[in-house]
């Protein structure tokens, strides 16, 4: 991935948009982690916010950073800050951290979604494999349906555990390579219809700003 300096620049740029009294959706991944750490420093300095985490990882990081937490049972985010695996024309592929089901709920509930990336995530056309979270029993029928749509599904293997990655929701992830995705909106709709699919990593029409960190500074695109 991109340089940590670029990721930090993006993360801190988005964190600047957070002000007193806000409820903030806290995204998952190494770039959003910089936003969480920056917000923690701002909370130490007196910023009055509450965070809604999007994964086990972002919740633990927010607790370490000292950010008071709440949930969607009690609040709605004014702004969410989250990373992406790829951005093209304002549309996202997410799910590198297998957290995209809860991320999409929080990101969609936010008034504004600020996406934090480095230049390695930017593309002209989305062509990154799309993570699809499936209930375990439906893995094969979902894989069949993905192939029908022209994708090549691959069960995401865990690193330091024998067998597959298991999500915070107890499900499995298929990384589905469709090559270049000409109509991401249409594919998103088709994937959502597959029985057994809990959520997929195409985030269509959700991003409001893209903060792209470079070694020279941050480029902010408002959508
Ligand atoms: O899992 C996710 O959706 C993350 O946001 C991921 O897409 C980006 O993670 P990174 O900032 O570590 O590259």
Token representation of residue 211 = 């903060």
CA atoms within 13 A on the CB side of 43: 21
Q: Look at residue 1 and tell me whether its pLDDT is greater than 90.
A: no
First CA to last CA across the chain, in angstroms? 24
pTM attached to this predicted model: 0.97
Q: Cα angle at 5 between 30 and 202, to 5 degrees?
A: 40
Q: Which atom of ligand 1 is nearest to the CA of 201?
A: 3
What is the per-residue pLDDT across 78-129, written as a single tens digit (0 to 9) for each? 999 999 999 999 999 999 999 999 999 999 999 999 999 999 999 999 999 9
Token representation of residue 206 = 């959700």
Q: Is 168 in the pocket of ligand 1 (CB under 6 A)?
A: no
Dist. CA 153–CA 150, nearest whole Å: 10
What is the per-residue pLDDT across 174-186, written as a single tens digit (0 to 9) for each? 999 999 999 999 9
Q: Is 211 in the pocket of ligand 1 (CB under 6 A)?
A: no
Q: Which pLDDT belongs to residue 168? A: 92
Q: Which pLDDT belongs to residue 81? A: 98
Ligand-binding site membership of 214 (annotated): no
> Span 182-207, mean pLDDT?
98
Q: Which pLDDT belongs to residue 216? A: 85
Q: Which atom of ligand 1 is nearest to the CA of 7?
A: 11
Question: Which is the catalytic residue, given 12, 16, 60, 103?
Answer: 103
Q: Is 132 in the pocket of ligand 1 (CB under 6 A)?
A: no
3-class state of residue 185 by DSSP:
helix
Q: How far is CA 33 from CA 15, 150, 170, 194, 220, in A?
A: 11, 34, 23, 32, 18
Q: Is 84 in the pocket of ligand 1 (CB under 6 A)?
A: yes
Q: Which atom of ligand 1 is nearest to the CA of 82?
A: 5
Q: Look at residue 215 and tell me whether its pLDDT is greater than 90.
A: no
What is the per-residue pLDDT across 41-90, written as a single tens digit (0 to 9) for each? 999 999 999 999 999 999 999 999 999 999 999 999 999 999 999 999 99
What is the DSSP-derived secondary structure letter of residue 16?
T
Measure 139 CA to ligand 1 centroid, in angstroms: 23
Total residue length of the chain = 223
Ligand-binding site membership of 97 (annotated): yes
**In the structure, what pLDDT confidence band is assigned to residue 2 with cuts at 50, 70 and 90?**
confident
Asked about 103 being catalytic, the answer comes back as: yes
Measure 30 CA to ligand 1 centroid, in angstroms: 6
Measure 112 CA to ligand 1 centroid, in angstroms: 18
Distance of CA 69 to the CA centre of its chain: 19
Closest alpha carbon to 89 in 115, 59, 110:
115
């Amino acid at each position: 991935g991109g340089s940590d300096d670029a990721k930090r620049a993006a993360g801190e740029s988005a964190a600047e948009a957070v002000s007193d009294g806000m409820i903030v959706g806290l995204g998952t991944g190494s770039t959003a982690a910089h936003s969480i750490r920056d917000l923690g420093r701002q909370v130490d300095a007196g910023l009055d916010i509450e965070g809604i985490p999007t994964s086990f990882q972002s919740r633990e990081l927010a607790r370490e950073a000292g950010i008071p937490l709440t949930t969607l049972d009690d609040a709605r985010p004014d702004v969410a800050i989250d990373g992406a695996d790829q951005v093209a024309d304002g549309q996202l592929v997410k799910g590198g951290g297998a957290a995209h089901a809860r991320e999409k709920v929080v990101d969609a509930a936010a008034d504004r979604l600020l996406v934090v990336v480095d230049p390695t995530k930017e593309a002209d056309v989305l062509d990154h494999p799309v993570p699809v979270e499936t209930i375990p029993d439906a893995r094969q029928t979902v894989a069949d349906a993905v192939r029908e749509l022209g994708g090549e599904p691959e069960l995401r293997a865990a690193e330091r555990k024998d067998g597959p990655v298991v999500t915070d929701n107890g499900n499995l992830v298929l990384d589905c390579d469709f090559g270049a995705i000409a109509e991401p909106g249409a594919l998103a709709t088709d994937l959502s219809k597959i029985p057994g699919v809990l959520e997929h990593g195409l985030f269509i029409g959700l991003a409001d700003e893209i903060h792209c960190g470079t070694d020279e500074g941050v480029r902010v695109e408002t959508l």
